Structures are given as structure tokens and as C-alpha cells.
Structure 1
Amino acid sequence: MQETVDMRLNELHNTIRQLPRAIAIAVVDLCALGPQRGPTKKALIIGINYVAHEKEEMKLRGAHVEARGYMELCIGKYGFRESNITLMLDDDSVTSELLPTRANILGQIHEFVEGVQPGDQLVFFYCGRSGQVESKSMNEDDGLDEVLLPLDSAGVRPQRTDKVIHDNELRRLLVDPLPVGSELTAIFDSCHSETTLLDLDHYLCNNIWFPFHESGETTGALQIDWRQEVQ
């Protein structure tokens, strides 16, 4: 196989030598491009039950079921390749680098967005705890940052926040690197997901005001039951 490739490359080089300079350069440029891949579908799916957490109130029961169910939905209905899906769980079914700690989640997000091209479709799914902490920036109307609580976080009470993942951090790592023409669908099954855990500039556009709500209260969350899609 390699001999055939080398033979054809030699034939191409010999042909290029006989071409006018401008045409030869164009041929070389085209050869350098190589085969172009089509749009890719990728998913990063995270489910955290906090089963080994020291605080009983942090523990959940259904996060793994939802994460695996959404993975099945991506593969069975939306045509994702299993090899393009990364599943992070806090159990013995995954390797250590896929345990959903803060460092591992940020590392997987970096790999997730690396090399994304226009036309690619990405899905980020998170099922676990989230909370709010005092914001150090001036871009929050309520003075609070929304945060994800990874496996190794201690929650937000007491105020130990070194292991949480802030909304503006998610925006910087998950959204900002994406090229124009790519598509990201982010799904958060957690508290405070009715605002925005991605710190998007336009989130107020999605809020709907109802006159029978109390002053200042808005809602913009789209509630869907994807389990019906799996059945």
C-alpha cells in the first residue's frame, strides 16, 4: 500500500516539474489541503450522583440514568457515533480521567472544543448539582455567579468555592473558542439552569414576563422530557 502511494507521489512530482510555474504552485497548494472531513457530531455528557460525598444532602439518585439515557438518544435518534461521545460519571464504569472532578471536566471541555470546524454540531449535557456564589465581576444583575458543583466540590456552604466551575468560566472555555458556523446545544438538568449557566450576553432575550408573577420574576426555561424520545 505504501509503495503504491509513494509511486503516485513520484508521478505527481514529475508531472509538476513539466508544468508552468503558476499552475504547478496551484497543484501543490491543492495537494497540501488533503482530504476534507464533513461535519462532525460530538457530545460531552456528565452525570454526577455524588454517591461518595461526605454530605448526605449532596447525593442524587438519577443522574447516571439520565446521562446514559441521553447518550442512547444521541446515538439512536440523532446519529452520533459512540466514539464521538464522552461520558463522565462518578462510578467504577469509567476510567479515572473521566471522573467528573473540576480538573477532569475542564480538561474534557478543552478536548471537546479543540479542532471544531464550521458545520460541526456539539452537545453538552450536565446532570448534577449547581448553585450560586457571590460574583467578583460586575456583569451579574443579582451580584451572583451560577456555578456547577463537580464531584470534588464541597458545595457552596460554607463558602469554599475553589472546586466549583463558574458560569463565566464555562462561557470562556466552552462557547468562546467555537468558530462561526458551528453549533452548540447545552442542556443543564440542575438548579439555576433557568437563568444561564453559560453566562451568555443575550439570555434576557429568552425571558418571558407574565403579569401574574411577582415583580422582577421572569421565566425563560424550556422544559422538555427527553425520556419520551428514548422510548
Structure 2
Amino acid sequence: MPPITPRKPQRRALLIGICYKHTHQDDWPELLLTHRDVDRFRALLRSRYDYADDEITVMKDDEAVPSRLWPTAQNIRRELDRLVRGTAAGDQLVLLFCGHSDQLDTEETKDKTEEDGQDEVIIACDAKRIVDNELKYRLVTSLHAGVNLTVRVLSLS
């Protein structure tokens, strides 16, 4: 049997920018610079860190973006799972979220682990919430040892 050679470390980035222009909810007013922030971060990854286009997934609520990459809760969950799927020690992952966030009383989420009685959530472009515990499960719990995950959240609540 031939020896197993380790694969080259992989890099992946998921950049999410939500301006909420199409959300039609008074709770989540339009944000003006989230798409620009994602575009600038993508340019930084490409120019400074030599990321290739196929290593970066961009999600925006913009008519120019295919519907599968609109940051609905369902699409975000799918892309978060894709970000971490098949990773191995040495891989580099980046997640950027630019959009609204909020807190929910743990009475609503039935979460007894939050010391402050609040769950943090991100708000998708369809105004659905993704709770911090789910994000931890999808992003952190499923990672293999030695995978580097960098997360940056730019949000307004």
C-alpha cells in the first residue's frame, strides 16, 4: 500500500454583506456600506493574501448576485456548512459578516447556558435570525484540530 501523503492546506473565505434594501422590515433599516465592506475585504484577500476567486464566496442581497448566494437564513446555513466541510489541519478559513445583529432573551430560545440571559443572533436578508449557538455548532464544533478559523462581524443592532 502506498504511503498517504498529506494534502496541501486549503483556504476558503465566506463574505456576507446585507444591506436589507429588500427586507421591508422596520426593525432592520437599510445599511449603506455593507456591500462595499465585503468588496474591499475580498480585494484585500486577493491582493494581500493571494486568495484565488474560487477560494472566496461572496453573498450579497443584490440583484446582480445569483439567488443561491443571496444571504437568506437557508443560504447562509448552507454556505457555512460548505465553508467547514472537508477541512483538515492546516486549512485557513475566513468568515466576514456585515449586517444587523440582535439579542434574544433566552426564554425565547430555551437556552440555559447564557450567563447574561441573552442569545446573540445575526439577521439574514429575509429577516430570519441565526442564533449564536447554531453558529458555534456549524463553525466551531465541526472543525478538526489545527484548522484556523478567523471570524469578523461588522454589525449594527
How would you bin the TM-score normalised by the shorter chain?
Answer: over 0.9
Q: Which has the higher contact order (CA 8 A, sep 6+)?
A: 2
Correspondence 1:146 to 2:120 = yes
Give the 3-state SS of the residue equivalent to 2:134 in structure 1.
Answer: helix
Report the alpha carbon displacement of residue 53 of structure 1 after superposing the two structures with TM. 2.0
Choose the corresponding residue for 1:171, options 129, 133, 136.
136
In structure 2, the residue corresponding to 1:128 is in which secondary structure? strand
CA distance in 1, matches of 2:149, 2:101: 20
**1:17-56 paired onto structure 2 within 5 Å:** 28-30=1-3, 33=4, 36-56=6-26
Matched, 1:58 2:23: no
Structure 2 gaps of 5+ residues are none
Q: What is the alpha-carbon root mean square deviation over aligned residues?
A: 1.4
- Write the distance in 2 (CA, Å) between the matches of 1:112 and 1:55: 29
Matched-pair identity in %: 37
Equivalent residue letter for 2:113: N
Q: Which runs of 5 or more structure 1 residues have no equivalent in the other structure?
A: 1-27, 154-162, 193-231
**Could you say which residue in structure 2 is the equivalent of 1:69?**
40
Matches of 1:93 and 1:119 in 2, distance apart? 34
- Paired with 1:179 and 1:55, the residues of 2 have a C-alpha distance of 39
1:114 is matched with which residue: 65, 85, 96?
A: 85
Equivalent position of 2:146 in the other structure: 181
User: 2:19 & 2:156 partners in 1: Cα distance?
Assistant: 14
Q: As a proportion of its length, which structure holds more helix?
A: 1
Structure with a larger share of its residues in strand? 2
User: Given that residues 150 and 164 in structure 1 are in contact (C-alpha distance below 8 angstroms), is that contact kept between their aligned partners in structure 2?
Assistant: yes
Structure 1 contact 41–81 (Cα < 8 Å) conserved? no
Which TM-score applies when normalising by structure 1? 0.63
Deviation of 1:40 after TM superposition, in Å, equals 1.4
Pair member with larger Rg:
1
What secondary structure sits across from 1:100 in the alignment? coil
Local SS of the residue matching 1:53: coil
Q: Which moved more, 1:50-59 or 1:84-93?
A: 50-59
Distance in 2 separating the partners of 1:70 and 1:62: 12
C-alpha separation in 1, matches of 2:77 and 2:37: 21
Instruction: Note the C-alpha offset of 1:86.
Output: 0.3
Provide Cα deviations, 1:15-47, integer angstroms capped at 9, x if missing partner.
xxxxxxxxxxxxx243xx3x6421111100000
Q: Deviations over 1:85-108 (max 9, x none)?
A: 000000122111100000000000
How far does residue 119 in structure 1 lie from its aligned partner after superposition?
A: 0.3
